């Protein structure tokens, strides 16, 4: 048996490293089209499904990252769209990453793990915040064993936001930074799964490593060669393909692009002009998203080739 992180690693090698972020906000769709498609939740689900269908058909991505906050903001209808989006991703043969960034202690962490690794919200891989302490990771990690489904988790390590310097980059008294201490613990935790997956090519414990700064990219990639990375920051946040490609070395990773794909239609002058007239359909938006996904895949693969990765 292979755990979900290894399945994602294999799919990234086959389809390319792109992760399509379905952090879909109603404001990303033109208002006239929103009215035609029904409620905001219904419109978002329809858009998500069309994008998923296309990226699965043309093998432009290996996974989708669904940021739960956008769906929670729409209430119960939004959570139903969230569940249906996860199902659509998995039905399409792609890996579903639920971006929930949970991190709590004891029974609360167990409840979060149970909620997102079983039942209605069940997903393949989740994101986890470790900054309440490493004991918060254990309840999630328990689901990575074969008997519990071989789930995976991406733990926040070096994020892509400017405020990451407030905590992650802080120097420790005994040397190194907070993020280095975190990374070392994730690597140690990953070794515990070798008894379950003796032939694994990466750990089920991955890390979130942003590609907005070049300084840490090679350092972190070399420090954790067996760790698969979730790489945010590419595209709309200004992260360069070259930096992302560096992080794709060794165990590899998947590079997320959300707004760059979801809002690609806004960069098409013809489509933008048609918004006011209401002469714009879901297919038009999905066409633009599909082209953007294919272009992102080509950009990332080109950067990998240029670096000899």
Pull the structure tokens for residue 281.
Answer: 């359909």
**CA–CA gap between residue 165 and residue 175 (Å, rounded):** 16
Q: Any bridge partners for residue 253, and if so which?
A: 229
Strands (E), 130-280: 152-158, 205-209, 229-231, 253-257
Which residues are known to be catalytic?
101
Strands (E), the chain: 18-21, 63-67, 95-102, 125-128, 152-158, 205-209, 229-231, 253-257
**CA–CA gap between residue 9 and residue 294 (Å, rounded):** 19
Pull the structure tokens for residue 40.
Answer: 């905001």
Contacts of 34 (CB under 8 A, 6+ apart): 26, 40, 43
Cβ contact 96:89 at 8 Å: yes
Strands (E), 232-309: 253-257
Select from 138, 60, 49, 113 the least CA-distant residue to 87. Answer: 49
Residue 222 CA, chain-centre distance (Å), reads 21
Stretch (H or E) spanning 85: helix 75-91
């Amino acid at each position: 048996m292979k755990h979900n992180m290894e399945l994602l690693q294999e799919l990234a090698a086959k389809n390319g490293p792109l992760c399509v972020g379905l952090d879909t906000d109603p404001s990303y769709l033109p208002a006239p089209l929103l009215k035609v498609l029904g409620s905001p939740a219904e419109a978002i689900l329809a858009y998500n499904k069309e994008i998923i269908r296309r990226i699965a058909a043309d093998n432009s991505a290996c996974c989708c990252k669904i940021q739960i906050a956008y769906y929670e903001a729409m209430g119960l209808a939004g959570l139903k769209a969230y569940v249906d989006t996860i199902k659509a991703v998995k039905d399409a043969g792609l890996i579903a990453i639920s971006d929930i960034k949970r991190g709590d202690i004891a029974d609360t962490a167990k409840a979060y793990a149970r909620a997102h690794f079983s039942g209605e919200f069940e997903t393949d891989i989740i994101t986890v915040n470790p900054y309440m302490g490493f004991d918060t990771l254990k309840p999630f990690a328990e689901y990575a064993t074969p008997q519990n489904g071989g789930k995976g988790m991406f733990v926040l390590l070096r994020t892509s936001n400017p405020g990451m310097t407030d905590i992650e980059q802080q120097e420790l008294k005994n040397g190194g930074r907070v993020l280095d201490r975190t990374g070392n613990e994730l690597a140690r935790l990953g070794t515990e799964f070798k008894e379950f997956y003796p032939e694994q090519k990466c750990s089920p414990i991955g890390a979130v490593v942003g590609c907005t700064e070049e300084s840490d990219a090679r350092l972190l990639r070399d420090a954790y060669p067996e760790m698969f990375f979730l790489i945010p920051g590419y595209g709309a946040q200004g992260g360069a393909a070259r930096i992302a490609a560096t992080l794709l070395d060794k165990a590899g990773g998947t590079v997320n692009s959300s707004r760059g794909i979801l809002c690609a239609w806004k960069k098409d002058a013809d489509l933008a002009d048609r918004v006011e007239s209401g002469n714009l359909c879901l297919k038009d938006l999905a066409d633009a998203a599909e082209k953007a996904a294919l272009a992102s895949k080509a950009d990332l693969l080109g950067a990998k080739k240029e670096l000899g990765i």
